[in-house]
Structures are given as structure tokens and as C-alpha cells.
Structure 1
Amino acid sequence: MGFTEIKNWLRHRHPMLYLDRVLDYEPGVRLVSRLSVSGQIDAIAGHFPERAVFPASHLSQAFAQSGIILFQLSTSPLADDELTLVGSMNSRFFHVVAPGDTVTFTVTADRLVDGTTFFFSGRAFVDGKTVGAFRSSLVRRKADALGHQWW
């Protein structure tokens, strides 16, 4: 699944779209995705000017986006009036990710509850070395159930 198709599965857009490609997936089981980290990514500009580091918070977001795609592939695509929200996330980071690195995410479906709550886990790798480990949950909600929207 290339970048253009990924945009069909996510509400995110530049500069908050972090996946370049989905390499492989099996609905209800797993998804493998990729992010190529470039010095031109907006988050890199100020993090940190003297030694560029890809922020761990953005690595977490890329992992969550992988989970969002697997969630939908395992159930159904989001309706126009639906959103996915991160219910919780535990993460651990082992190595710095910098421009020039290619991060591969492996995401595993741990549990699906009523088609509305999805528990998943996974790891992020650069050159075969684990740079992060994650465990998270997502919920699917109607936008109007979230209260008055100011936008």
C-alpha cells in the first residue's frame, strides 16, 4: 500500500502523516509499515538544530497510524462522521532515530472488542535493531459523540 492509498485510511495530513508505505498486512493479525526519516520533516527543524533527532512523540504517532490502518482493515473503513482516538499508549524507546533512518513498524492485533475498541502492540526497527516498543488501544467514535466541535 503506497502513500496515496494510505491517505485513504487516515484522517491525518501533512505535517502529521508519518507513514510512507504499508509493506504487508493480514487483517485481524498484523501490519508492517515503513517511515523514511528525512531532514526535511517539519519536526526535525527544531529538534534539535545542532543534532537532528526524530521526536519520540512522532514515532509514537507513526505507530498509532499503523494501528489505525490495521483496526480498519480488521473491521471496516471509518465512516465520514467517525474518528479513532488513542485510548492509551505505553511506549519504550531504546535508540535515537535520525534523518536518513528507515523505520519499520510491526504491529500485532492483540484484541478487538465489539468492533469499536482495538488493542495492539508492536515494535519499531531501524536496520534490524529495535528502537521502540509499544502497546496501545484505539476507540472508534462518532464525531458528534465527542461534544460540541469548535472547528
Structure 2
Amino acid sequence: MAEDAVTLTREVEPADIMSVMRMIPHRYPFLMIDRVVDIQLDRSAVGIKNVSINEPHFQGHFPRQPVMPGVLIIESMAQTAAVLVVETLEGAAAGKLVYFMTVEGARFRKPVVPGDQLRVHVTKVKNRGPVWKFSGEAKVEDTLVAEATFTAMIMDD
């Protein structure tokens, strides 16, 4: 298997919101993670999304019973994975655009509502060049609320 080799000798600190915004290009209203609390280089990361009623999608999804859209939960997985990639590549991918190639096996098990804290766990399955594949799970407290496998490509400028 011809996967890219990465040197994994440095310690990685959790990423607060300012660090996240230096690493990925997303901004309000599409920044779907507030911080990354655990990063294991070239392997996994855990992101946090504090779900608030003030988010614009709740105006229409759904006004009388607000539910975080499943596609935004998957986006939070992708953004957590992007932080992992930037850290793994020591910043070489910082700010670059990343495009979904596939989303597979997406399952939504329980609604995510305002007041929930989403813990987004992503694990690298493999990578080859600019293409990275991850499995992701989103949990509220210890309850699995969503899962998916996704592939994305980092685009050069």
C-alpha cells in the first residue's frame, strides 16, 4: 500500500477556536466546530460543537422543534478531520479548500437540539496524496447520534 508516511514525533496541543480558524477557512455561519480537544497525529481527533438556538439554520429547521440538520453534523466531522490533517501535515494544508468526494453509510440515530454539546470523533482510515478517508461518529453525552465514512481532497491553490 503506497500511503504517505508522516513523522509523528511532536506533541499536539488542543486547538481553541482561534487556532481552528487559522487552520481551516470556514467562518460563521458555516464554522461547525468550536474547538478540538484531542489530536492524535495521523490517526484521530475529537472536536466539540456547542449547539446554540442562535444558529441561523434553526430559523427554518424547524421553528417549532429545532433540530440540527444531519448534513451539518457531517460537516462538523469533516471540519474536525481537516484540523487533524493540518496538524498532521504541520500546517502545510492550513487554509486550503477541502472538497468532499464521497459520504458513505451516513446514519442519524437521534436528533441534535439546541443546548446539546456534540463530540465529534474522527479516525483516519487511509490517505494517498491529497485524498483522505475518515470514519466519523458524533455523540451527545455518551449517546451516538450520527455516523458516516467520508473521503475528501485537499485542493492546491
Q: TM-score, normalised by structure 1?
A: 0.88
Per-residue deviation, 1:79: 5.9
Are 1:121 and 2:135 matched, yes or no? yes
Query: Pairwise mapping of residues 1-150 of structure 1 onto structure 2 (< 5 A)?
Result: 1-77=15-91, 78=93, 82-90=96-104, 91-114=106-129, 116-143=130-157
Helix, strand or coil: the match of 1:89? strand
Counterpart CA distance in 1 for 2:156 and 2:82 is 15
Counterpart CA distance in 1 for 2:81 and 2:97 is 13
Counterpart CA distance in 1 for 2:111 and 2:66 is 10
**Alignment-mate amino acid for residue 113 of structure 2:** A
Per-residue deviation, 1:42: 0.9
Per-residue deviation, 1:46: 1.2
Q: Does structure 2 conserve the Cα–Cα contact (< 8 Å) formed by 1:68 and 1:138?
A: no
Counterpart CA distance in 2 for 1:6 and 1:68 is 9
Counterpart CA distance in 1 for 2:49 and 2:115 is 10
Identity among equivalent positions (%) equals: 26
Aligned-residue Cα RMSD (Å) equals 1.3
Counterpart CA distance in 2 for 1:28 and 1:142 is 20
Gaps of 5+ in 1: 144-151
Counterpart CA distance in 2 for 1:97 and 1:7 is 24
Helix, strand or coil: the match of 2:79? helix
Per-residue deviation, 1:74: 2.0
Q: TM-score, normalised by structure 2?
A: 0.85
Aligned to 2:6: none
Counterpart CA distance in 2 for 1:95 and 1:79 is 33
**Alignment-mate amino acid for residue 108 of structure 2:** F
Helix, strand or coil: the match of 1:33? strand
Gaps of 5+ in 2: 1-14
**Count, aligned residues:** 141
